[in-house]
Structure 1
Amino acid sequence: MAQKTRERILQKALLLFNEVGFIEVGVREIARELEISPGNLSYHFSKKEDILFALLKQFSEQNSKLYNEYFLAPPNNAQFLTLISRIFDCQYKFRGVYIGNQFVQAEIKNEDRFDYASIAAKRAASFKKIFEDLHLAGQISVTAEDISFLVAHITLFGRFWISEATLFNKSPDKAQVIKHYVSLLSKQLSLFATEKGTNSIDDFWSKSS
């Protein structure tokens, strides 16, 4: 029962954060929306920041699952673009947690609460392996310098695409914005793609349309 209540709190908090932003939502508002007392909510989360870090943990765990699933299949460009689509879908789901959230930007530097530096390094290493594997599989033709560029670019892109996508509308059409930003990365990937890799990209879009 306690675990179910905890999950309800996290789901409702995420919904409210997505709608109006983390700063604009208080614990009393979350409790009111759930029709529970503030005391009941504080039993599970003593303050709003604890809810935030629980959501960041969920976000990180869901992302890790996506990367793990990707590495189970043979590497190709279609698989890579599918991974990016799923990562963006996850970011969209948790957009209210970190978009314009100065508190998050300050707190993620605290390794005791959320070791963002370690997570970021792990993600960069994953992308490096992804591009190396795509090269070995004949999907892209790249040098070590190209791989460094691609990792840096996708890291930057991954951090900020959702901020641009929600600049004027906190809840844009998910399918439309994800397709748009994946298409931008797809065009960049095509610059390095072999004939085999280009066919794989085309296969991804034929199945996505």
Structure 2
Amino acid sequence: MTRKEQILNKALELINEKGFVHVGVREIARELKISPGNLSYHFGKKEDVLMALLERYREANTSLYETYLATPPSLKGFLHLMKSIFESQYLYRGVFIGNQYVQAQLESGDHFNYQEIYERRLAGFARIFKELHTAGHLKLSEEDVRFLVFHMTLAGRFWIYEATLFDKSPDRDSTVKHYLWMLSKQLSLFATETGRQSIGAFTAELE
């Protein structure tokens, strides 16, 4: 593991524990037993660490979507994708929760064209649901597709805020399982018999 990766991992651990505003570069350096100068060689300021974490998070999620899209469409596969996405969001929870700096950066577009990323995610979910319809796992009208797309973007963005409302670090597995169960119930309303069997195969693996 490189020094840069060590810094990012320790920073993420501290941010998840204390929140972004309560973690400074000196504390990160102290936890790693390195000098602040050594840390600043890789990251000039705390905000640079945060941007690097956001980029790492984005790259990880993009890879997850690409892996799913390279396989035949199924609700079981889609739910496995969302399980990995939820686990990734849980891992980076401190980066987003109550972090006004991140919100400002996403809105400004200085580091990320968030509008473009958002539109790409919408198009990606629309493609996924249409392919699940074609594969016989979901029975959807165009209006249903739009509903599921916006449901996914809403739930996918805010579930972690609700999950950590009273506890910054709830048990990962039981928390993710709870929200996957709710997603499975939502999808089952549109599922064909084949789709329900696929959902059942996924939920059986969660037990």
Q: TM-score with structure 2 length normalisation?
A: 0.98
Aligned to 2:26: 28
Please list the CA deviations of residues 40-91 of structure 1 after superposition, one character each: whole Å capped at 9, or x if unmatched: 1111100000000000000000000000000111111111111110000000
The aligned residue for residue 8 of structure 1 is: 6
* Secondary structure of residue in 1 paired with 2:177: helix
The answer to whether structure 1 residue 155 and structure 2 residue 121 are counterparts is no
Paired residue secondary structure (2:50): helix
Aligned counterparts of 1:110 and 1:33: Cα–Cα separation in 2: 32
Do residues 191 (structure 1) and 189 (structure 2) align? yes
Aligned to 1:58: 56
Matches within 5 A, 1:198-209: 198-209=196-207
Shift of residue 112, structure 1, vs aligned partner: 2.9
Structure 1 runs (4+) deviating above 3 angstroms are: none
Aligned-residue offset at 1:24:
0.6
TM-superposition CA deviations, 1:146-189 (whole Å, max 9, x none): 00010001100011000110111111000000000011111010
Distance in 2 of aligned mates of 1:89 and 1:143? 30
Aligned to 2:112: 114
Give the residue type in structure 1 aligned to 2:113. Answer: D
- Distance in 2 separating the partners of 1:127 and 1:44: 36
Letter in 2 for 1:147: V
Q: CA deviation at 1:114?
A: 1.8
Unaligned runs of 5+ in 2: none
Deviation at 1:141, TM superposition (A): 0.3
* Separation in 2, partners of 1:207, 1:4: 36
CA distance in 1, matches of 2:116, 2:30: 36
Q: Map 1:139-154 onto structure 2 (within 5 A).
A: 139-154=137-152
Q: Counterpart in 2 of 1:76?
A: 74
Shift of 1:111: 2.2
TM-score, normalising length: structure 1: 0.97
Give the deviation of 1:110 after TM superposition: 2.6
Question: Gaps (5+ residues) in structure 1?
Answer: none
> Identity rate of aligned residues, in percent?
56
The 2-side partners of 1:149 and 1:60 are apart by 24
Cα RMSD (Å) of the superposition? 0.9
1:119 maps to a residue whose letter is: I
**Greater mean alpha carbon deviation, residues 16-25 or residues 118-127:** 118-127
Of residues 165, 169, 172, the one that matches 2:170 is 172
